[in-house]
Amino acid sequence: MFFVLIFFLSNVRESAAQQVPIYSQYMFNKFILNPAVAGSEGYTAFNVTSRIQWLGFKDAPVTNSISAQTRLIKSRLHIWFKKKREKYEPTEEGTVGLGAHLYYDHRGILDQTGVQFTYAYHERIDIKEQLSFGLSFSMTQFKVNTSKMVSYQQDNYLNSNKLSVFIPDFNFGIYYTSPYTYVGISVSQLLQSAVQIGDYENNKFRLNRNYNVMGGYRFKLNNDLSLEPSFQFKTTEQLFYQIDAGCRLYYNRDFWGGISFRTGSALIFTLGTRYNNLYFGYAYDFSFNNLQKYSFGSHEMIISLKFKENERKYKWIERF
């Protein structure tokens, strides 16, 4: 059926059966991929991401995302009179992280709008290691935009009154951090809900459960330079997988640049800088397939605002 074909094609993106948005700069806002990251760094952070894929094509895939996260921390103030200085110690109440994520994903005739609310729990293994768990509740609207289609014959699907549907779901994640290492695993679309679009009872498309594993390690080269290789592995239960692997070079935590490779023949270049509490990042995806001949590649911008009032409690955090 024509409509079924369009629906699945609109979900393919760069790799087969991917039903979740793609982010080239996932390492700078890991929260949108793993709910356990919410509040793990001790910051209060706001992030905006905008991505356009295959620029130059009409109705090219577009993803816009806004997220916020924080750590609920209550501290005791101890005054050491002998040394005449202050010491802050996190209490048991400082183990909770909260987050919210709003996104819009446009793919052909399909518009996907979602909101997620996240609760995370953080347990310090020792003074320099932390293990986090997170759970998100999501509500997503799938909508077929008929104004972007031209029908040359009667189509029962397009004449249906059920071209928009809301789907509740859950995401779960585990995240480990140490001064120079991070590793996380998460599962999205846990319920594998059926998407009922159209008037026919057999018109049911099921969301795939998606698994995501990411990690990285930062090597300190000298007082000014550090190198961070990282990877991301995504797959579904049908074993449609995608791998991102690359590294970035940081200068004084104020400037960075990197290169990554994504299976499916894409090379990704990233650049970024920091000004006080504001972070700016840009990524350009160059595809080796035939699409690159007719497009100007894929572009992604991020802007992040991070408040550092809690950084003194988590001085071991080195990364962005």
* Domain boundary assignment for the chain: 2-313
Question: How far does Cα 152 stand from its chain's mean position?
Answer: 39
**CB–CB of 215/228 below 8 Å?**
no
Q: To 5 degrees, how large is the angle CA 282–CA 283–CA 286?
A: 150
SS3 316: coil
Torsion of CA 313, 124, 129, 257, to 10 degrees: -60
Q: Domain 2-313's class?
A: mainly beta
Q: What integer pLDDT is reported at residue 153 of this predicted model? A: 59
SS3 163: coil
Q: How many helices (H) and strands (E) does the chain have?
A: 1, 19
**CB–CB of 213/232 below 8 Å?**
yes
Per-residue pLDDT of the chain (320 residues; tens, 9 = 90+): 333 333 433 343 344 445 678 899 999 999 999 999 999 988 899 999 999 887 777 778 889 999 999 988 654 444 444 444 444 444 445 789 999 999 998 887 788 899 999 999 999 888 789 999 999 999 999 888 776 666 655 555 565 667 788 899 999 999 999 988 999 999 999 998 887 776 655 555 778 899 999 999 999 999 899 999 999 999 988 888 899 999 999 998 899 999 999 987 789 999 999 998 899 999 999 887 776 667 778 899 999 999 865 554 554 454 43
What's phi and psi for 292, nearest 5 deg? -65, -25
Q: What integer pLDDT is reported at residue 135 of this predicted model? A: 97
**CB–CB of 38/31 below 8 Å?**
yes
Q: Take residue 223 and report the two structure tokens written for it.
A: 């007082």
Q: What integer pLDDT is reported at residue 84 of this predicted model? A: 46
Angstrom distance (rounded) from CA 250 to CA 61: 30
Angstrom distance (rounded) from CA 71 to CA 226: 27
Q: Take residue 120 and report the two structure tokens written for it.
A: 């995370």
Q: Take residue 263 and report the two structure tokens written for it.
A: 């299976």
Angstrom distance (rounded) from CA 237 to CA 188: 12
